[in-house]
Amino acid sequence: MILAVTAIALLVAMALTLARALLGPSIFDRILAVNTFGTKIVLFLGVYGFLTQRPDFLDIALVYALINFISTLAVLRFFESGQLVMPKDKE
C-alpha cells in the first residue's frame, strides 16, 4: 500500500520534471531535468521491484544509475565542444 503511494508520488514527480524538460527554456534546464528524471527512474525501479516482489529490478536500477551519469556527462561534453572525443592536447 505504502509502496504504491511512493511509486505514484515518484511518477507525479517524474511528470513534473518532464514538464520542466519540455518547457526549457535553455538547453541546460533540459539536461538538468533529464538528469533528475533519471534519478527518479532509478528510485522508481527499486520501489517497483519491491511492489512486484521481483528483486531483479534492482540490477536494472543499478545499471541505470551508472548509464544516467555517463549520458549526462556525454551530452554536456557534446554541447560544450560540439564533438564527443576531446582533442588530445587539452591538458
Take residue 79 and report the three cell numbers written for it: 554541447
Candidate residues 53, 80, 83, 88; the one interacting with other proteins per rule CB under 8 A:
80
Take residue 65 and report the three cell numbers written for it: 544509475
Sign of CA dihedral 42, 6, 8, 25: negative
**Which residue in this structure is represented by grid cell 557534446?**
78
Residues 32-71 vs other proteins: string with x where CB under 8 A? xx-xx--xx-xx--xx--x----x--xx-xx--xx-xx--
Q: By CB under 8 A, what part of segment 12-31 binds other proteins?
A: 12-14, 16-17, 19-20, 23, 26, 28-29, 31
